[in-house]
Amino acid sequence: MARKKSAPAADSISAELATQFRRRLHRWYRVHSRDLPWRQTRDPYRILISELMLQQTQVSRVLDFYRRFLDRFPDLHTLAKARPQRVLEAWEGLGYYARARNLHKLAQHVTTTADGIIPSEPEQLRALPGVGAYTAGAVASFAYEKRAALVDTNVARVLQRVFAPELDPKSGPGLKRLWEMANSLLPRTGKVTWTHNQALMELGALVCSARSPKCGACPVKRICASVERFEQRP
């Protein structure tokens, strides 16, 4: 049985290739990005709410829940003082209620120990209830414009298809490699990283989808290692 080729190391992505990838991706995002409410703010509380709601939930479903939840709990202190049942009622319909419970615990923890200030560094964010590596990177990048990588399902799919088609993104080593790639592709500044991370996620959501990738509309088609395989599909 033929052995699969190992995925290239993150440092095998040349500086020239990384620059091409970023340039094409960012240019596409400026034209095609969706106007979403959490992209119009740098408030860490609002961004945290959106990121937790978006976990395993489609954007179209989150929009109304996001607005209603913020109307009911406009800031971290209001949420921290609320009864657990009220928080769960506001979350009803989104499912995965552990997210709401952890969010409530996080609000109480931060208002008690940090004067209601959500941390800006990924390492500190990861110490909070219900915050994993992706959410920590997202809040650091989108709220504080930190130069922080993030890898969710959409980002993993884009990076795997473009740079390492033989990599298994669901394996421990594969996921580790994807995080290394994400870090190696980061722009030099946090402000540009905000655009870069949003663009990666948007490309995975709108073009490089799981079942029917739209390769003809993809801005990084010319440098994608998987494009021929997908274009040959019936």
Residues with a known catalytic role: 51
Cα torsion 182, 7, 167, 13 to 10°: value is 30
Distance CA 169, CA 160 (A): 7
Can you say whether residue 147 is alpha, beta or left, with left for phi > 0 and alpha for psi between -120 and 50 degrees? beta
> 8 and 167 in contact (C-beta within 8 Å)?
no
Q: What does the H/E/C string look like for 3-22?
A: CCCCCCCHHHCCHHHHHHHH
Q: Which structure tokens are listed for 3? A: 């052995």
Three-class SS of residue 153? Answer: helix
